[in-house]
């Protein structure tokens, strides 16, 4: 341990961190190349060859020229995922009881009918048990 000082350890960790960040950026650019539906196949192939053959220069050029649209595509994809998730939540939570609505909605309607006097206590209890089972 004496031949590898603490400062060298920090320096190595910094370079390792930068290398990991570089790989992350490289894969992010490659995924964005395939995600972009506005580019044709030849443009995608050209960008991919540039990024693979000259990785540092290719990624730098890609980020300079297409960085803004890359961010916009990422935001649009995140919004689409969020909308799909919200739709799933609404569908799952809102229609638990089938066509008649959720159990809570059906119980609320029963309670309203009982308060109006349209059904008796016995009818309310039977219907409540039927909904809950």
Burial 97-109 (b: 16+ CB within 10 A, else e): eeeeeeeeebbee
pLDDT given at position 2: 65
pLDDT given at position 97: 44
What mean pLDDT is predicted for residues 48-58?
Answer: 93
Is the Cβ–Cβ distance between 51 and 62 less than 8 Å? yes
Question: What digits encode the pLDDT tens for the residues 67-110?
Answer: 899 999 999 999 999 999 888 887 877 654 444 567 788 888 88
Least confident of 36-50, 59-73, 117-131: 117-131
Q: What is the pTM of this model?
A: 0.59
| Residue scoring higher pLDDT (19 or 88) | 19
Is the Cβ–Cβ distance between 119 and 127 less than 8 Å? yes
């Amino acid at each position: 341990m004496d031949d590898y000082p603490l400062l060298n350890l920090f320096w190595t960790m910094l370079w390792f961190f930068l290398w990991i960040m570089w790989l992350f950026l490289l894969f992010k650019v490659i995924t964005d190349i395939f995600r972009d539906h506005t580019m044709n196949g030849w443009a995608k192939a050209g960008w991919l060859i540039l990024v693979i053959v000259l990785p540092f220069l290719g990624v730098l050029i890609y980020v300079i020229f297409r960085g803004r649209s890359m961010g916009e595509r990422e935001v649009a994809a995140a919004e689409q995922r969020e909308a799909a998730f919200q739709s799933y939540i609404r569908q799952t939570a809102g229609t638990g009881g089938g066509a008649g609505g959720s159990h809570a909605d059906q119980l609320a309607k029963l309670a309203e009918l009982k308060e109006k006097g349209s059904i008796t206590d016995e009818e309310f209890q039977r219907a409540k048990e039927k909904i809950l089972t």
